Amino acid sequence: MGVDLIIFDLDGTLVDSCEDITNALNYCLKERGYEGLSSNIVKTMIGEGVKKLIQKVIEYKQLQISSEEMIECFVSYYKAHITDFTKPYPKVKETLKILKNIKKAIISNKLTELTIQTVKNLSLIHYFDFIGGSDSFQERKPSALPIIEVMKKLNSKPENTIIVGDSELDIKAGKSAKIKTVAVTYGYGDKDSLSEADFKIDRFEDLIEIVKKL
């Protein structure tokens, strides 16, 4: 078929951002007199965007705080510390460089501003033809809409497009958009939820062989 567009998730796929997300949440919790969360707990909550993340934290901790207040605090702190500890996973830069002749996009459920800031700070931005977050589209993953819009924007067809992600949201979105799906097993997603993916990779650089096969 030939791949001419690769769509990537961000957190848990291209970059490990869990520590900075955890630190931002814990800052807001401790400022309000609550104990913080472990990064292992936070890891299970990442992937559906900031509103959902805060809802999960409020429910988990049974907080008597408005979600709006927590979102405002989280975004403000996180913006200022977005790549204190966040880094690309091993071989991400090298692999993106090898795949330089293929169009690449990021579709994240993170806010667009935070997605772009992360990629820019880590010197990854020049690898991508399009970067979009949850507020770039009318719907978010697992909806197929963001993928369909990006394919139109970058003039690619479903048979020539693949999505790479660490969660069930990415796989479901890809299946709904009728594109091939690649699950990374090193990210934040529950491994059992990735069973529907067309391919699974344990290392980011394994993507190169899959692209060659297709």
Cis amide linkage into residue 90, ω under 30° from 0? no
In whole angstroms, what is the distance from residue 59 CA to residue 61 CA? 6
Angle, CA of 105, 205 and 202, to the nearest 5°: 105
How many CB atoms lie under 10 A from the CB of residue 67?
Answer: 17
Q: Is 9 a catalytic residue?
A: yes
In whole angstroms, what is the distance from residue 143 CA to residue 109 CA? 11
In whole angstroms, what is the distance from residue 108 CA to residue 191 CA? 19
In whole angstroms, what is the distance from residue 49 CA to residue 211 CA? 29
Q: CA-CA distances (angstroms) from residue 114 to 47, 75, 169?
A: 14, 9, 19
Q: What is the DSSP letter of 6?
A: E
**Catalytic position from the list 4, 9, 129, 190:** 9
Q: What length does the chain have?
A: 214
Tell me the catalytic residues: 9
